[in-house]
Structure 1
Amino acid sequence: MGIDLGQAIRINRLRLNMTQTELASGIISVSYLSKIENGTAEPPKEIVELLGEKLKLDPLKPDNTINDQYVLRWFYHIMQANVDESIRLYNKLKHNLTTAIDKKLLSLIEIHKLHYFNLISDKTEAEKLALSLQKSSNRFTETEKYYYLKFLGNYHYTQLNYRKALECYQEAEKYSKSDIFHQLEEIYSLYYLIGSAASKCMEPHLCILYTIRALDYYQKNYNLKKCADCHILLGISYRRLNDLEKATECYQYAIRLVEKNENKEQLILCYQNLGNVYSSSGKSLEAINYFLKNYELRIDSSLQSKLIPISSLMKEYYKLNDMENAKVWLDLGFNLSKNLDPSESIFVYEFQVYQYLINGINNSFESLIIDHIIPFFREKQLYYQEATYIKILSDYYFDNRKYKLAATYYQMLVNDTKYHTERG
């Protein structure tokens, strides 16, 4: 049956302000209608015709619902992050909004555009739309609130505002029982997003709770790519909880799934995070081996993507006190990132700091951390990253016998850690 017929039935029922009970009465059970609308049941032609009579249309004739169905296909593809198909559908859609599209869909189209602009990395349009939608958000229906909050979370996520993203996703969850499209897929997609944002906020227990829920759904539906994504996310959280055996197990599961799908991006994530596991275990040579594999796979990737293994290799050699190799990777990362803004990649600041640590510190080192780095991470609510640089600054003051300053920043580190542990 595909997704379009069930969604066409749903949207035309909503157009008539008809409940599922009213539409199903005398034809089928409400639970069976719900399955049809969600695309999990394929009704016989006779049932479709009876439903069509009540809705005053024949869902089998695409001319009656082509515009609504087209919009719903676009919703589906942007939810699945199918970029090329989302662009193709949008380019046609934006020139035909004056046609017979259900007026109730127009607000949802505008809200979905926020997700679309995030998906195609159009930051300017995404920012303008986020501000515009905020002004009218108090008038949204529950369904509109769900999509608005979810997509606003995506917007904050791309801006590195992971705490705001997590708050939006969790608020969206309150409206997940409203009349949303592709309901099961939407809900478990949201669970994965909550897990991902929680991971970025260094909340491993919350990440595990939601990611396991998503994984269970994807396993039952044989979505191997999504299963691999979940195993990678779980591996990150288990490593942060110092359960390195469990983390390694998760990555091995993910690699087996990735090998079936031949997904390069997921293999990149597995190698990077296995390197992190070995680094946490004090096995630097094994860590370096995985970071090098990761770098080789990313050689044709975006600039921001390449900075990740470069940073890891620089820090791992620095840990080994191998300053010659640390400097090789520092120079590469520093030169690649010097024209980037920190909001594009948090590694920009990392290479600037290690430029001092490896090549020698001068007075501007303190200003960089105090005036730029700490305020940046505090504004983004990236407290773990903030604490990393407070620790570096504290150690610097201590090593240079500036004990009063060292004590001040060590105390800030203790207070911040205690405060954010209690909150989170």
Structure 2
Amino acid sequence: MGIGSKIRYFRTKNNLTQKELALGVCATSYLSKIENEIVEPSNEMLDIFCSKLGLETADLKLEGDYLHKLQLKSLELHRAIRNGFKESAVDLYNEIIAKNRMIIDPAMQVFKVLFGLRIALMKNEREEAFELYEETTKLQEYIPEMMKPYYNRYGGLYHYMYGSLTKSLQLYKEAEKLVPRSEIEDVYYQLALVHHLLGEYSMSTYYEEKALELFARKMDYEQCVNCQLLLGINYRKMGNLERAKETYLSILEKVTPLQNREVIAKVYHNLGLVCADEGKSSEAITAFQISLGYRDDEKSRMKTSYSISKEFLRIEDESSATKFINVGREIAESVKDEEHVIKFQVLKYKLEKLEHDPIFEFYISMIALPYFEERSDQQMIKEYIYELVAYYEECRQYKSALTYLKKIL
């Protein structure tokens, strides 16, 4: 970043127009050329600009060694986060910020906001992440080249977790071009996850296989298992239930001796979904119950509670459905998981047999569907559109039914 860009950064930060900063120094058009790195200001001009902006001239000339050190610290912090060292990452971030608190260079501000965002995502602090992401977008034009891969990856993760899946895909595709080959498998894995939620299962499988090959070369066992889990889900979504089941059972053979509770829970959860797709409700419920026995964190229990609730509703076991809907919804509300609050509310309406009541139509069309459309979550969009179509057909509102049906045909 040149001096001109820094002048623009500090001018906008001080809420000054180009005309106000240029007054008594140079023509506004000349300042515009300076800020766009077309010409360089004289030393005399630079001193006056700094005086107006409340800066020391040295504040605009931090380059070279300083940026190199910041690059090394960024890499160190990113690796701590990537390796799951949460406490160490937070401590390192706070230490870097404390040591550089007197530096007002925009690169330092970018570092503070960008890695603050990643830590907020790591800690699942949604509101903090939202505020920091908004800040990163404002600083986008000041991001040094060395930090652009982090911007795309962390922004992609933000949108994957809380925002637009389409935007997430766009950012991860940019990251694919910029990330070092030594870490490209992480980007492939995230691209597979995003394509999966967008309902693009073939593309998801393509990236998943690329990621799996690279993780296997590095003997990263944990990520290999994660890749196999997603491959199994993709096979199920594409209708290849036998291959999905084979994939999950092969994972169980590898992990059961090690008693990796989280992996075992995920496998049984997904085996339950396969059994549900096969119409084997009893086997599905058994698998979900085994999964719940291994679930140690609330959010994971919430997700399996949702799946088992749907299965109990399918077999009209209202008592059991009520139990798991209440448990799951309580967790969703406590962790402020809007997605599952909506999902459990829809199940509650179905439990109360309100599928043909206007309140159900209103909730699906005005709350549930818009939420998942904003997320670009194709799976849930299709599910709720079919709910609306069934409602309108029951009410003989065939025109409305056709309008919604066209959205997914």
Question: Does the alignment reach a TM-score above 0.5?
Answer: yes
Say whether 1:301 aligns with 2:297: yes
- TM-aligned CA deviation for residue 160 of structure 1: 4.9
Residues 231 and 253 in structure 1, CA contact (< 8 A), matched pair in contact too: no
SS across alignment from 1:174: helix
Tell me which of 106, 120, 123 is aligned to 1:120: 123
- CA shift for structure 1 position 347: 2.3
Q: Distance in 1 between matches of 2:291 and 2:278?
A: 19
Paired position in structure 2 for 1:417:
408
Residue 280 of structure 1 is matched in structure 2 by: 277
8 Å contact 1:224–1:257 — kept in the other structure? Answer: no
Hey, what does 2:32 align to over in structure 1? none
Partner of 2:249: 252
Q: How far off is 1:207 after superposition?
A: 0.7
- In 2, the alpha carbon distance for the partners of 1:205 and 1:165 equals 18
User: How far is 1:286 from its partner?
Assistant: 1.3
Residue in 1 that maps onto 2:375: 380
TM-score when normalising by structure 2: 0.75
Q: Which moved more, 1:222-231 or 1:389-398?
A: 389-398
Q: Does 1:214 align with 2:211?
A: yes
- Within a 5 Å distance, the mapping from 1:102-251 to structure 2 comes to 107-108=110-111, 110-176=113-179, 183-251=180-248
Structure-2 residue corresponding to 1:371: 366
CA distance in 2, matches of 1:193, 1:125: 22
How many residues in Structure 1 have an aligned counterpart in Structure 2? 341
| Paired AA for residue 321 in structure 1 | E
Deviation by residue 1:208-228 (Cα, 9 ceiling, x = unmatched): 111111100111111100100
Percent identical among aligned pairs is: 26
Residues of 1 paired with 2:222 and 2:321: CA distance?
35
Deviates most, 368-377 or 205-214 = 368-377
Pick from 341, 349, 352: which aligns with 1:348?
Answer: 341
Residue 417 of structure 1 aligns to a residue whose secondary structure is coil
Kept in 2, the 8 Å contact 1:288–1:313? The answer is: yes
Kindly report the root-mean-square deviation, in angstroms, between the aligned alpha carbons of the 2 structures.
2.9
Secondary structure, counterpart of 1:94 in structure 2: helix
Post-superposition offset of 1:80: 2.4
Please, what TM-score do these two structures have when normalized by structure 1? 0.73
Aligned to 2:47: none
CA contact (8 A) 1:156 1:162 kept: yes
SS at match of 2:139: helix
After superposition, the C-alpha distances for 1:110-139 in whole angstroms (9 at most, x for unaligned) are 433322221122333322222222123234
| 1:329 CA drift (Å) | 2.4
1:301: Cα distance to partner?
A: 1.4
User: What is the 5 A alignment of 1:13-162?
Assistant: 71-97=74-100, 107-108=110-111, 110-162=113-165
CA distance in 1, matches of 2:386, 2:366: 15
The one-letter amino acid paired with 1:408 is S
**Match for 1:323 among 318, 341, 363?**
318
User: Alignment partner of 1:121: what SS?
Assistant: coil
Structure 2: gaps spanning 5 or more residues: 1-64
The Cα shift of 1:337 comes to: 4.0
Amino acid at match of 2:156: G
Tell me the alpha carbon deviations over residues 309-333 of structure 1, each in whole angstroms, 9 at most, x when there is no partner: 1111111122223334333323433
Quick one: structure 1 residues 284 and 365, their matched pair in 2 at CA, closer, same or farther if it must change by over 3 Å?
same
What is the SS of the residue equivalent to 2:84?
coil
Q: Residues 78 and 244 (structure 1 numbering): CA distance in 2 closer, same or farther, change over 3 Å? A: same
Q: Which segments of 5 or more consecutive residues in structure 1 lack a partner in the other structure? A: 1-56, 58-64, 177-182, 419-424
Match in the other structure for 1:42: none
